């Protein structure tokens, strides 16, 4: 019986809605909090205020409500439990088509209603996401633009935190068009730790105008990260929501939206998406259709519950290898920098290394000059490889880079070091020349001395034997002396 009454009520509400929606304007309000910019979302339609169902709401949709209420940026959408009752539900495509909210409403029974929070006094306009745009501040019920000269990085850190975004990544005037609003009259002097921009101190001097192109434009980074992987470019996707990092449900994800994640993180392109089992818990769900509109991840999240989490691997998985010349190398004037001068004829060792992430892999040392290019490859041993050039010549002058390559996750990955520029001077190393000029003559002199004494000792032995023979065989004939002379000649030749 209750079910039948509910169906009748829904049917009659639908008829009433069709008959009167075009005649009655939309009315929206947030109730239950001190400010009109936060609370439970209610809409008046067909002469009746009702709360709005929580299902399928995102920050991007909430921004429409905040703008309608002349509030600042949307910062949170939350679920609030309620006794089961008839509430308004808004078709998701209503926000994409730009239709009046009243034309998209329908009644349905629900136990969850929407709580929405907008900022009272700060907003970003005309940006590509809720985390970018021209900065405006509200005071005395009036929105004012902020002059770039009155706004610095510490001020921007406060605004980005207040918006629920990541740290500021760009601060520049006239990024998002010229502001038509009046100019905020005082300079902000934030310490960077404040929770809201209007909590910051301001200067005593007042400004009445701002030069063209000097209205502050701000871009905050997306509060997105990959955790639990081998690097910051691989792992479980998490998005910061209401001050907490929450994992993302894997449902509906493909390589195309994963590529947006990798782009946000400056991690190259997407390599794979996967599932990671977890305990059933509160997570965030991201509708893949959101990416078709090039929206940011933060704008598309919806609170949900799941035990299957999303993992993403991006192409820039590896840390950047380093390229150095050890300080002990002879002939290198400065040992660990990106521009080295090496003397001709000296030895040179270039070392490639990378922080431990995966076993194995190989290093490729790439050399390029104005007229040639070479590649030298060695396996990685203890995450490093050393390339030796025993005698440097002008042909070794040019630019060197280390490439680390490894096969993991069924894919080949590579990472390139910064560039090392080597200049070979035309003259040999003076230190080495001095050493050779002093040491080599000493070695030759020592060899001559040793040879002299050796020859003298040998001559003494040779001459001593014939004299003894003459004393013993005094008066022996010449015919008998022949063997002795032959023996002496034999000794000399030997």
CATH 2.60.40.10 matches 322-431: yes
The domain defined by 2-118 folds into Mac-2 Binding Protein (3.10.250)
**Residue 375 binned pLDDT confidence (cut-offs 50, 70, 90):** very high
Q: Which residue has the higher pLDDT, 51 or 241?
A: 51
**Residue 494 binned pLDDT confidence (cut-offs 50, 70, 90):** very low
Angle at 68 between CA 67 and CA 71, to 5 degrees: 50
Mind listing the pLDDT tens digit for each residue in 409-452? 778 888 889 999 999 987 554 555 555 556 666 777 776 776 77
Instruction: Count CB-CB contacts under 10 A for residue 80.
Output: 15
For residue 350, the surrounding DSSP H or E stretch is strand 348-353
Residues 6+ apart with CB under 8 A from 398: 367, 368, 369, 370, 372, 421, 422
Mind listing the pLDDT tens digit for each residue in 22-43? 334 458 899 998 889 999 999 9
Q: How remote is the C-alpha of 472 from its chain's centroid?
A: 100
Q: Which residue has the higher pLDDT, 300 or 13?
A: 300
Per-residue 3-state assignment (H helix, E strand, C coil) for 299-349: HHEEEEEEEEEEEEEECCCCCCCEEECCCCCCCECCCCCCEEEEEECCCEE
pLDDT for residue 459: 63
The domain defined by 125-220 folds into Mac-2 Binding Protein (3.10.250)
Position 476 pLDDT exceeds 60? no
Q: Quote the CA–CA distance of 187 and 209 in Å, as a whole number.
A: 12
The closest alpha carbon to 301, from 239, 220, 343, belongs to 239
**Residue 14 binned pLDDT confidence (cut-offs 50, 70, 90):** very low
Q: Which residue has the higher pLDDT, 404 or 371?
A: 404
Q: Which residue has the higher pLDDT, 109 or 21?
A: 109
Q: Quote the CA–CA distance of 12 and 344 in Å, as a whole number.
A: 94
pLDDT for residue 204: 63
User: By percentage, how much of the chain surpasses pLDDT 90?
Assistant: 32
Q: Which residue has the higher pLDDT, 243 or 406?
A: 406
pLDDT for residue 154: 92
Position 236 pLDDT exceeds 90? yes
Average pLDDT over residues 220-233: 89
Domains 2-118 and 125-220 share a fold: yes
Mind listing the pLDDT tens digit for each residue in 170-210? 887 666 655 566 788 788 999 988 999 999 998 766 666 77
Q: Among all chains, which residue has been given the structure tokens 């909210």?
A: 101
**Residue 61 binned pLDDT confidence (cut-offs 50, 70, 90):** confident
| Strand-strand pairing, 339-344 and 420-428 | parallel
* Paired residues of 228 in beta bridges: 235
The closest alpha carbon to 296, from 249, 259, 250, 264, belongs to 264
pLDDT for residue 159: 95
**Residue 4 binned pLDDT confidence (cut-offs 50, 70, 90):** very low
- Domain spans in the chain, listed from the N-terminal domain onward: 2-118, 125-220, 228-314, 322-431
Right CATH for 228-314 from 3.30.1300.10, 3.40.50.300, 3.10.250.10, 3.30.460.10: 3.10.250.10
- 3-state SS, residue 255: helix
Cβ–Cβ < 8 Å for 399, 416: no
Q: Which of 251-255, 307-311, 367-371, 468-472 has the highest mean pLDDT?
A: 307-311
Mean pLDDT of the chain: 78
Compute φ and ψ for 273, nearest 5 degrees. Answer: -125, 145
Average pLDDT over residues 343-371: 91
Average pLDDT over residues 203-231: 81
Position 270 pLDDT exceeds 50? yes
Put simply, whether the predicted model's pTM sits higher than 0.75 gets the answer: no
Average pLDDT over residues 59-81: 90
């Amino acid at each position: 019986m209750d079910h039948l009454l509910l169906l009748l009520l829904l049917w009659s509400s639908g008829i009433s809605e069709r008959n009167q929606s075009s005649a009655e304007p939309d009315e929206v309000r947030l109730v239950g909090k001190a400010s009109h910019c936060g609370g439970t979302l209610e809409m008046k339609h067909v002469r009746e205020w009702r709360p709005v169902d929580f299902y399928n709401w995102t920050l991007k949709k909430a921004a429409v409500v905040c703008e309608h209420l002349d509030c600042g940026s949307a910062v949170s959408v939350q679920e609030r439990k309620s006794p089961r009752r008839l509430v308004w539900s808004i078709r998701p495509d209503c926000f994409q088509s730009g239709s009046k909210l009243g034309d998209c409403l329908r009644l349905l029974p629900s136990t969850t209603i929407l709580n929405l929070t907008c900022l009272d006094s700060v907003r970003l306009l005309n940006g590509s996401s809720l985390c970018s745009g021209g900065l405006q501040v509200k005071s005395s019920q009036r929105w004012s633009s902020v002059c770039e000269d009155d706004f610095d990085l510490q001020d921007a850190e406060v605004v980005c935190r207040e918006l629920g975004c990541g740290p500021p990544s760009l601060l520049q005037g006239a990024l998002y068009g010229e502001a038509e609003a009046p100019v905020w009259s005082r300079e902000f002097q934030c310490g960077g730790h404040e929770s809201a921009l209007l909590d910051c101190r301001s200067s005593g001097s007042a400004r009445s105008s701002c030069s063209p192109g000097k209205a502050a434009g701000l871009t905050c980074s997306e509060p997105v990260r990959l955790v639990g992987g081998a690097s910051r470019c691989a792992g479980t996707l998490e998005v910061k929501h209401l001050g907490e990092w929450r994992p993302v449900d894997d449902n509906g994800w493909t390589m195309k939206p994963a590529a947006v994640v990798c782009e946000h993180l400056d991690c190259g392109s997407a390599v794979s998406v996967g599932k990671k089992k977890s305990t059933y818990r509160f997570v965030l769900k991201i509708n893949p259709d959101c990416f078709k509109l090039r929206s940011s991840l933060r704008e598309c999240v919806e609170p949900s519950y799941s035990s299957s989490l999303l993992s993403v691997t991006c192409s820039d998985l590896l840390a950047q290898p380093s390229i150095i010349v050890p300080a002990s190398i002879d002939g290198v004037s400065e040992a660990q920098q990106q521009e080295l001068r090496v003397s001709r004829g000296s030895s040179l060792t270039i070392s490639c290394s990378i922080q431990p992430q995966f076993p194995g892999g190989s290093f490729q040392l790439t050399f390029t000059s104005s007229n040639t290019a070479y590649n030298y490859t060695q396996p990685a041993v203890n995450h490093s490889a050393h390339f030796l050039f025993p005698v440097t010549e002008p042909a070794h002058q040019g630019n060197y880079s280390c490439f680390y390559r490894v096969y993991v996750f069924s894919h080949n990955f590579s990472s390139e070091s910064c560039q090392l520029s080597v200049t070979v001077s035309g003259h040999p190393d003076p230190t080495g020349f001095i050493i050779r000029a002093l040491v080599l003559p000493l070695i030759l002199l020592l060899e001559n001395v040793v040879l002299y004494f050796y020859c003298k000792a040998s001559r003494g032995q040779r001459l001593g034997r014939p004299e003894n023979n003459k004393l013993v065989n005094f008066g022996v004939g010449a015919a008998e002396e022949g063997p002795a002379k032959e023996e002496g000649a034999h000794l000399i030749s030997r």
